[in-house]
Amino acid sequence: MERVREIFRADQHLTIREVAEEVRIAFGMCQKILTEDLQMRRMAAKFVPCLLMAEQKNDRLSICTDLHERAQNDPNFISPIITGDECWVYGYDPETKQISSQWNTASS
């Protein structure tokens, strides 16, 4: 169990299979050590919220409040922004959700 903990401290992006092969234990045993003994779970890094400073939070709040008031006061406020044209733009993100996910404890 201590060896599994050390490996995941070094690289939280590893999969259970990779760690199980390195430690030479069964996949199910490695999964049990991670989830039950170490209380870890896999989280997608893209969904981990970033921490905003108080000034950034206030800026976001004031912008959203301003937009909300403008939309309530002027029903045509949104109409020049939304157009009838469609343009599909595809982005390429080489880092998949699986690659970007990492193991975290409940306190992290």
**pLDDT tens, residue by residue, 22-68:** 999 999 999 998 888 888 888 766 544 566 778 888 888 898 899 88
16 lies in some domain: yes
Q: Running DSSP on this structure, what letter comes out for residue 24?
A: T
93 lies in some domain: no
The label of the residue with tokens 């699986």 reads 98
63 lies in some domain: yes
44 lies in some domain: yes
Overall pTM > 0.75: no
> How many structural domains is the chain composed of?
1
pLDDT score of 69 more than 60: yes
18 lies in some domain: yes
6 lies in some domain: yes
Domain that holds residue 43: 2-77+99-105
Identify the burial level of 9 via C-beta atoms within 10 angstroms of its C-beta, where 0-12 means exposed, 13-18 middle and 19 or more buried: exposed
CA distance 57 to 7: 36
Contact 13, 101 (CB under 8 A): yes
Return the pLDDT at 48: 45
pLDDT score of 93 more than 60: no
94 lies in some domain: no
